[in-house]
Structure 1
Amino acid sequence: MERLRLFLHHILSFHISLASTISHYLFSPFSKIRRFPIITPISEWFLSVYFKFACNLIQCTVDLDDQTTMHFLAPAHRRFNKPNLVMIHGYGGNSKWQFVYQVASLAESFNVYIPDLLFFGKSYSNRANRTEAFQAECVAAGLRRLGVERCSIYAISYGGFVCYRMAEMHPELVEKAVIVSSGVGCTQSQKGEQMKNVGIDVLDLLLPRTPVGMKRLVELSVHKSNPLRWAPDFVLEEFIDVSALNGNSICFHVDDVKVNVGSIVDYVDAFIFDDDKTMCNTNRKEKQELVEHLLANSEKCKVQPLSQEILLVWGDKDKIFPLNFAYELQRNLGPKASLEILRDAGHAVNFDSPDSLNDLIKGFILE
């Protein structure tokens, strides 16, 4: 099944890239006017429709206080005979892009809740706290506002840090946890050594400004199927430009499938008439501070055993957090932690082996 998916993915990616390139050159006489983005907003719209009709998820926004807002994909109709599963994303776009290969299958077995972490997607806070513990508190508070009293968590990469803190601080909320390819608990020396091995500044890696940087991030993360293999640079530039604006700049509401016209007008003004604004992400500074906090040498990063059962899942070809990170994290979490290693998968197991990962998640949580 995964081989068929990968094959279809390659074919689809090639044809979309080919069509995009042809359309780009058809409009080349207007190259002096900066192109209004089309591909990324349309892709976001299709994803929103897909999550609503294929996955039974709707978008909702929760105001935690007068300074913090959390955005969720949540069940349109919660089934009380299904357990709740919270899916927490890592760096690299919002939650819809990262979980697109998994949600439909998981939604058959769970009531799925997918938050945008603070400063990603449409979640934002004016507070100065940049810790994963604050992220965890906000996710937990948002879930309670949505009526979730017990849940399991599946989290990848940076989301694993948030998941660990949620399980640690809210054992009454978190029943089980699946952490995938995450550097939870790694020491300062491990961080420094791994950054040398990767050979790229971590901020440049996680927050790329150019198509070259974005391709480099994907090449390091994905082992089997590089989704950007055929993507022309102008498409990646558009994605970076759109991502560089606040998550609320373009607002597609999946319930009534309408566009926030006022925001579009502001966006056009910024995109066409001001080169600086498009690459000046209002959230970029905050995202940098999130990374800087993780890189800081802090005793609070030490991992203690949790009361919940924990499943760790790693790709054997992970170039970001190699397998020795997985073995050490398993030891630190204690006897309630188990480890599953997926062959021929990189850091982004959710892209390389989504079906196998879903099977592990279902088997662990539903057993």
Structure 2
Amino acid sequence: MEMTSMARKRSFGFIAAALVAAGATVAICCGEAGNSLPAQAGVSGATSRPLDVLSTAKPWLTAIPGGPKALRGKVVVVNFWTYSCINSLRAMPYLRAWSERYANKGLVVVGVHTPEFQFEHDPARVRLATRQLDVRYPNLQDNHYAVWQRFANQGWPGFYFIDANGQVRDYRIGEGDYASAEQLIRKLLAEAGHDPSSLPLASVKGIGIEAEADWADLKSPEAYVGYEKAKNFRSPGGLRKDVSAGNAAASLPLNNWDLAGKWTVGREFATLDGSAGAIRYRFHARDVHLVLGGPPDGRPVRYRVKIDGAAPGRDHGADIDAEGWGEVKEDRLYQLVRQRSVTNDRTITVEVSRPGLRAYVFTFG
């Protein structure tokens, strides 16, 4: 999901280029600074006919008025996103603003929901997420990465800027640099004969979970819980694939985590098997999020969050109260912490007293 800023900027292009050249599908969520990459034509395997790709893709969760053929002659922004990715969520205010501001000037924003986790394949869940996020522009479900691969996309969020002649003029991977992206949109609209100069630039300020990250004081990268991508696990005995076990570590260095209680660690997530358990992470960030899911029976799961062993108080996130209590009712990203004071190294503990809870990934802001 997120990568720390400087390391991401240095490594992203080399990793992505190597994997694309090898024919692999690159799938990472990218944070601040919105890597502005070379023109799309320079990416091996990328489509030169993006509107043709969209015209044959399906299913559409929110249809394009007039159908995909109505995109001909329009300026189009294609956004690859997934609803559990905090980087995708923080981009939403800008996409909504562009769609609303420039629709009458010939702009169409198209979302392509390409899932990271298995639960995000469910159309009902994606539709619920789009309603909760107030996403009104057209959205396509790309469960099998067909559109992703035709665009040679490399991460979430991905932005592709298509001119009125159907050519990709530029693309960006990751958050940030929204002012220059909007200037590009305005340039493409002017070229198409729809001069937007009478309109001021959009004034956007994300609120709640969509608020911009505190990049200057963000020192924690994402941390996956499933064994496929897990790092820095500190429970004694290490991370054991598909084994039900977990004991808290004696101490946690920064950006390390552990499990307490009986957990089975699968490829994507860890599941609590016992009647009580906890997951801890030592972090340095304003915000802490955790992607969570409930048991198959659909019953809500209560959990409690502590920061350095105490209730979070005024530092609670949107999905818990000041005492730290929250409830998993659906599979999604939960905001557990938003610190209102000085950011220091701290330990978050998520305590659960019912089996079946699934933990996927910590992300920060």
TM-score (structure 1 length as normaliser): 0.23
Which gives a bigger RCO, structure 1 or 2 (Cα 8 Å, sep 6+)?
Answer: 1
Of Structure 1 and Structure 2, the greater helix share is in 1
TM-score (structure 2 length as normaliser): 0.23
Of Structure 1 and Structure 2, the greater strand share is in 2
